[in-house]
């Protein structure tokens, strides 16, 4: 069976407390061989680390989502580098800029984003980037840093504009496709997703959010990655097995610290 890689899960969340083991079992049954547990904030690191150790073929990131930037203004690149010494840590983030909700102000977000950029540069681990309604500042910060010291970038669950997508393509960024690509009115997302370099595209659920059609409206889980993959394979006019092999191979190249068993 082809092996899928869900590169963005939030299985440490309380929403899975009653059936987390069943969710992971369903993922395995659906062909999801690899899971990447994403850090939303520094105070989640211990919980995520415990889950990762307990779950075969799960790895993790360390970082701080822009929503929480106001609460972690003392976040330093050095502290993140120290946290990333664990070999199960394979990325930095979820980092970035989000001006849609405005939970943290612009300068707070920039400060925390910059610390995570520097940690990615210092560790050689890829930076998992979230950006929403912040195309210009995201592009400027990433391009400036990349010019000073190149590093790997993943534009996670990309829903931003075409111009930023091409700016990121030009500096070698990877892009992840989520359940949004299946949504009826996500025409712009599909238009840009067809332009992704096929050697730099991977898959994710971002569970428990963004459940794909035909599961939309439910709590998302890694087992639903199959639906994302099938839809994107059809969009790109390739077989399901080809898309599984392509995206998993790309993800293992990006998260190169992973050594599959």
Indicate whether 260 belongs to any domain: no
**What local confidence, expressed as pLDDT, does residue 199 receive?**
98
**What local confidence, expressed as pLDDT, does residue 134 receive?**
96
Indicate whether 75 belongs to any domain: yes
User: What domain range is 245 assigned to?
Assistant: 4-254
- The residues, ordered by sequence, that sit 6+ positions from 83 with a Cβ below 8 Å of its Cβ are 45, 62, 89
**What local confidence, expressed as pLDDT, does residue 187 receive?**
98
Indicate whether 131 belongs to any domain: yes
Indicate whether 89 belongs to any domain: yes
pLDDT of the chain, 261 residues: tens digit per residue: 679 999 999 999 999 999 999 999 999 999 999 999 999 999 999 999 999 999 999 999 999 999 999 999 999 999 999 999 999 999 999 999 999 988 999 999 999 999 999 999 999 999 999 999 999 999 999 999 999 999 999 999 999 999 999 999 999 999 999 999 999 999 999 999 999 999 999 999 999 999 999 999 999 999 999 999 999 999 999 999 999 999 999 999 999 999 877
**What local confidence, expressed as pLDDT, does residue 252 receive?**
98
**What local confidence, expressed as pLDDT, does residue 47 receive?**
98
Indicate whether 233 belongs to any domain: yes
What DSSP element (H or E) covers 174? Answer: strand 174-177
Indicate whether 146 belongs to any domain: yes
Indicate whether 259 belongs to any domain: no
User: Residue 218 is part of a domain; what is its CATH number?
Assistant: 3.20.20.140
**What local confidence, expressed as pLDDT, does residue 101 receive?**
86
State how many domains the chain has.
1
Cross-sheet strand order for the sheet of 4-9 = 4-9, 32-37, 58-62, 89-98, 127-132, 153-155, 174-177, 201-203
Indicate whether 44 belongs to any domain: yes
């Amino acid at each position: 069976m082809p092996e899928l890689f869900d590169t963005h899960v939030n299985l440490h969340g309380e929403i899975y407390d009653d059936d987390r083991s069943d969710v992971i079992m369903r993922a395995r049954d659906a062909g999801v061989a690899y899971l990447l547990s994403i850090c939303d904030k520094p105070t989640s690191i211990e919980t995520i680390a415990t889950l990762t150790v307990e779950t075969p073929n799960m790895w993790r990131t360390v970082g701080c989502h822009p929503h929480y930037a106001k609460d972690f203004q003392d976040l330093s690149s050095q502290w993140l580098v120290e946290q990333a010494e664990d070999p199960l840590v394979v990325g930095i983030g979820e980092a970035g800029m989000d001006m849609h909700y405005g939970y943290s102000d612009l300068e707070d977000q920039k400060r925390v984003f910059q610390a995570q950029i520097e940690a990615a540069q210092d560790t050689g681990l890829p930076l998992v980037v979230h950006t929403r309604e912040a195309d210009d500042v995201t592009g400027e910060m990433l391009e400036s840093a990349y010019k000073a010291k190149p590093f790997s970038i993943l534009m996670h669950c990309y829903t931003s504009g075409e111009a930023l997508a091409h700016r990121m393509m030009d500096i070698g960024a990877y892009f992840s496709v989520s359940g949004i690509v299946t949504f009826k009115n996500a025409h712009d997302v599909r238009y840009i997703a067809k332009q992704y370099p096929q050697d730099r595209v991977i898959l994710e659920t971002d569970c428990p959010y963004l459940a794909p059609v035909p599961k939309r409206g439910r709590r998302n889980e890694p087992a639903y990655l199959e639906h994302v993959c099938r839809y994107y394979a059809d969009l790109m006019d390739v077989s399901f097995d080809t898309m599984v092999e392509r995206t998993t191979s790309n993800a293992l190249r990006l998260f190169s610290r992973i050594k599959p068993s």
